[in-house]
Structure 1
Amino acid sequence: MLRIIKNKQPKFFVAENVKGLLSLGKGLVIKMIEEDFREIGYKMEYRLLNSADYGVPQQRERVILIGNRLGLKNPFPKPTNMKQETDNLFSAVSLLPPHRTVKSVIGYLENIETVERNSNQIIEIENRKIYNHIAYTNVENKFWTRKGETTQAEICDYLKFWREKKGISVKKIDEIFGYKHTAGHWFRKDNKSGSIPKPSDWWKLKEILGFDEVHDDFVTNLVEKEIVFEQSLRITNWNTPSDTITASTPEIHINKKRRLSVRECAIIQTFSDDFIFTGSLSAQHRQVGNAVPPLLAYQIAKEIKKVLENGND
């Protein structure tokens, strides 16, 4: 980012990072960032902003960095909403409206069935078109997993050996299975993108490659285990702002039948209804969860626009 800003010389720049940035190196990292921008002629300032204070129905604390080469004070937006404390007299008479709640923005979808994952079906509610209303349905406190100590890397090396021995390409294996890129993950030794075939795919792959039975039991015999981490079973807030929408599996819907859909997460992030997400279900959730809430971005941009319209520079 520093290189691009130095090269393009924008009047202002805006960046966003997680809250942990402020404590990295006991605060030394953020000071280094300030100094780096100062050396290329930018006055950079930062604030820890909570999206809920700016009309986003979500508790999302992020470090917002704003810099400019005009020598001006960086214009951070003022809160538009605040948490209402019933036992706090000041809060009770505040001119700011309360934080927006999850129910207020996605309540109308509470009883609307989600569509199939690979479907492009559009739902229409009172002349409102709803895209991406797809969701995970895993809400139980148990899951299926493999037993044993074998790793994905070992399976990868094993499959790669037999694939090369057979002299068949990954692309050809995808064609046989009718997949687009799935097979590539079986031969990729990477904790983030590598994967082990599901049992049915394993048996079909065995027919194609002719490998032995060394890993058959590990890959195809699944055992049921209890989920031991609480976050995976957390139910979304309803009468308060949402917890932070992340890039991973979302929280369970208040109806306890499914998890929040991609569209519901997008609405909580303040995306407009006509913003359509593409890719797999997990990819769509990543797109939503990694984004800066558009409404917060608008509030920031609006303040910068005011400064620029004053005729500076």
Structure 2
Amino acid sequence: MNFIDLFSGAGGLSEGFITAGFNPIAHVEIDSHACNTLETRLVYHKLKEEKKLGHYYDYLKGKNNRNSFIKNFGEKHLTESVLNIGIGGKNNDYIFNKIDELAGNNEIDLIIGGPPCQAYSLVGRARDSEGMKNDPRNFLYKEYAKFLKNYRPKAFVFENVLGLETADGGRYLKNMQKYFRSIGYNLDYKIQHSEDFGVLQKRRRVILIGWRKDINFEYPIFDKIVHEFKVRDILTDLKNLRPGEQKNITNYKASTTKYLNQFELRNGVDFVTQHIARPHNDRDLEIYKIAIKKWQKEERLKYPDLPKELKTHKNEKSFLDRYKVVDANGFSHTMVAHIAKDGHHYIYPDSKQVRSLSVREAARIQSFSDDFFFEGGRSAAFRQIGNAVPPLMAKEIASKMSQLIK
């Protein structure tokens, strides 16, 4: 079954659908680094199918550069299927023509993706004086709907942040539902919890699913994965890091864990990439030490608790939990794109490694496998990871969609 991924990001949602057996016709994404990541991953899937993954591993190890890797192993239709362009306006004509060319006579069975979430997010609304009411991204769902009108897929999956449900008193979501129904699609939505899908992260997302009115379909019931795994199960096998240390290619320090095996995050590869920690100044490291020490007593650090010499501003009423240790004995709090700017909200939970999470650790919390490579450098990788849909969650959604569509 063929799908189009709109507002693709690094391809977390797409990864789940590909793994579940769907065929990507096109990805549309405005961020160039994310597009490079998508291209690299598509070549990975091609080489995996051909049983030639050695070429991919050579690329990860730096034995050839990206241009030669893509040129030698990425077929033209693969690289051209990643459209680095914004959705909307005159761009849509180009996108439609390109997708028509890529699809040929093949039907588009499914459209997936979710528009940028800043306009709906609770944090975005709190920071904007008008509550994001005039943000043009509020209406990107109408651009999404143009693709539904044009390709008439059997169904679609629309993912977004929890704030979508309450934005403008719930009117945005109601208008969105009404609009999709007006163009011929029944739909329903539920709030899904990523930890129910095996992801070691407390992440709530609105998953809106629509289906053409002529199709016998209903919102899937997802099987909750019951387990006792904790964040520590994805940290213990990775080598220790100092602040600013970069292990772009490194071996594991310990054998795999049951979690990594069961959910295939290690994938049988004997090395790991992008185990990279950002540098920190002395002040931040002192704050991290205090935060870790408090967390070992099951207490959270609040900004007013800091010694006077470590405080840099007088606001002690908002964003008090800016410094937050990841819970090694439970699930991580929600991974967001702000991790690209600083690591204060994602402090490594060990006094022997005073730093924030590495790129690979963040990727694992989002359930990306170790052979998933993020292009563009450390900050770009963090941003792509924070914006992504966890692939484990996406795979289960895709599997249920496949059953129901068939």
TM-score by length of 1: 0.62
SS of 1:113's equivalent in the other structure is coil
**1:63-82, aligned counterparts within 5 Å?**
63-69=206-212, 70-81=214-225
Other-structure match for 1:259? 356
Q: Which residue of 2 aligns with 1:113?
A: 241
What residue number does 1:233 align with?
323
Which amino acid is the alignment partner of residue 227 of structure 2? P
Deviations 1:144-178 (A, max 9, x none): xxxxxxxxxxxxxxxxxxxxxxxxxxxxxxxxxxx
1:20 and 2:115 are equivalent in the alignment = no
1:136 aligns with 2:136: no
**Residue pair 2:191, 2:204 contacting (<8 A) in 1 also:** yes
Check 1:271–1:41 CA distance in 2 against 1; reply closer, same or farther (3 A cut).
same
Shift of 1:298: 0.6
Aligned counterpart, 1:39? 182
User: Separation in 2 of the partners of 1:139 and 1:30?
Assistant: 43
Q: Which amino acid aligns with 1:138?
A: H
Shift of 1:106: 2.1
2:183 partner amino acid: I
Could you tell me which residue of structure 1 aligns to residue 400 of structure 2?
A: 303
Deviation per CA, 1:201-255: give whole Å up to 9, x if none: xxxxxxxxxxxxxxxxxxxxxx985376543321111111110011122400012
Matched, 1:58 2:201: yes
Q: Secondary structure at the match of 2:174?
A: helix
Code of the residue aligned with 1:232 in structure 2: it is: R
8 Å contact kept, 1:141–1:233: no
1:177: which partner in 2?
Answer: none
Alignment CA distance shift 1:42-1:63 (3 Å): same
Any idea what SS the aligned residue of 1:128 has? coil
Letter paired with 2:270: R
Equivalent residues in 2 for 1:1-313 (5 A)? 1-69=144-212, 70-81=214-225, 96-98=226-228, 100-109=229-238, 111-113=239-241, 120-125=248-253, 128-138=270-280, 142=284, 226=312, 229-249=319-339, 250=343, 251-256=346-351, 257-309=354-406
Aligned residues of 2:162 and 2:206 also touching (Cα < 8 A): yes
Deviations 1:242-296 (A, max 9, x none): 1001112240001241111111111111111110012132211010010000010
Q: Distance in 2 between matches of 1:22 and 1:49?
A: 13
Cα separation, 1, equivalents of 2:381 and 2:373:
9
Q: How many percent of aligned residue pairs carry the same amino acid?
A: 35
Does the aligned pair in 2 maintain the 1:248–1:289 contact within 8 Å? yes
Corresponding residue of 2:35: none
Pick closer, same or farther for the CA change 1:233–1:224 going to 2, 3 Å: closer
Question: How far apart in 1 are the matches of 2:282 and 2:152?
Answer: 52
How far apart, in 2, do the equivalents of 1:65 and 1:134 lie? 35
For 1:277, the aligned partner's letter is F
**Contact 2:217–2:404 (CA under 8 A) maintained in structure 1:** no
Report the structure number with the largest CA radius of gyration: 1
- Distance, in Å, in 2 between the alignment partners of 1:49 and 1:108 is 29
Using the TM superposition, give the Cα deviation of residue 142 of structure 1 relative to its aligned residue in structure 2, in angstroms.
4.8
Determine if contact 2:200/2:331 at 8 Å carries over to the other structure: yes
Q: Which residue of 1 aligns with 2:117?
A: none
CA RMSD of aligned residues (A): 2.6
Report deviation, 1:121.
Answer: 2.8
Distance 1:142 1:104, change over 3 A: closer
For residues 58 and 31 of structure 1, do their structure 2 counterparts lie closer, same or farther at Cα, with a shift above 3 Å needed? Answer: same
Name the SS for the 2:235 alignment partner.
helix
d(CA) in 2 for partners of 1:141 and 1:246? 24
Q: Take 2:155 and 2:245, find their aligned partners in 1: how far apart are those partners?
A: 41
State the 4+ residue runs in structure 1 displaced beyond 6 angstroms. Answer: 114-119
Does the CA contact (< 8 Å) of 1:44 and 1:66 recur in 2? yes
Is residue 117–residue 281 contact of structure 1 (8 Å, CA) maintained in 2?
no
Q: Give the 3 Å change call, closer, same or farther, for CA 3–240 of structure 1 in structure 2.
A: same
Match of 2:291 in 1: none
Q: Tell me the CA shift for residue 119 of structure 1.
A: 6.6
Aligned length: 214
In terms of mean alpha carbon deviation, does 260-269 or 241-250 score higher? 241-250
Secondary structure of the 2:237 match is helix
State which drifts further: 8-17 or 123-132: 123-132
Change (3 A) 1:268 1:77: farther
Q: 2-side partners of 1:234 and 1:302: how far apart? A: 35
Tell me the SS of whatever aligns to 1:265.
helix
SS in 1 for 2:271: strand
Query: What is the letter of the counterpart of residue 11 of structure 1?
Result: K
